[in-house]
Amino acid sequence: DIQLTQSPSFLSASVGDRVTITCRASQGISSYLAWYQQKPGKAPKLLIYVASTLQSGVPSRFSGSGSGTEFTLTISSLQPEDLATYYCQQVNSYPLTFGPGTKVDIK
């Protein structure tokens, strides 16, 4: 199985800050990676797929990059509504797996 790790597991930043979350895969997954945002008490929401493609309707302050085993999600200017937990997911092979999540808090 492909394991995903995320760093940091928690971050606290101010409104307007640039925030970067890293996801690492235990083996190469090409660009078969997605990022999801989950707000408290809500279902996950797809933000980025194929590592860097922005899902329709997602604000342009979100961006993704990477391939192979290392990927990043960047929020260029953190907004109050970005308070959430962010998960990466690999769809390269079964079983599909998610990273453990990064909780983003607003200072």
Partner 1 sequence: EVQLVESGGGLVQPEGSLRLSCSTSGFTFSDHYMDWVRQAPGKGLEWIGRSRNMANSYTTEYAASVKGRFTVSRDESTNSLYLQMDSLKTEDTAVYYCSRVSRSCYNDFWGQGTLVTVSS
Residues 6+ apart with CB under 8 A from 94: none
Q: Is 101 in the site for partner 1 (CB under 8 A)?
A: yes
Stretch 57-96 residues interacting with partner 1 (CB under 8 A): 87, 89, 91, 94-96
* Residue of 49, 73, 78, 84 interacting with partner 1 (CB under 8 A): 49
Q: Which spans of this chain sit near partner 1 (rule: CB under 8 A)?
A: 1, 32, 34, 36, 38, 43-46, 49-50, 53, 55, 87, 89, 91, 94-101
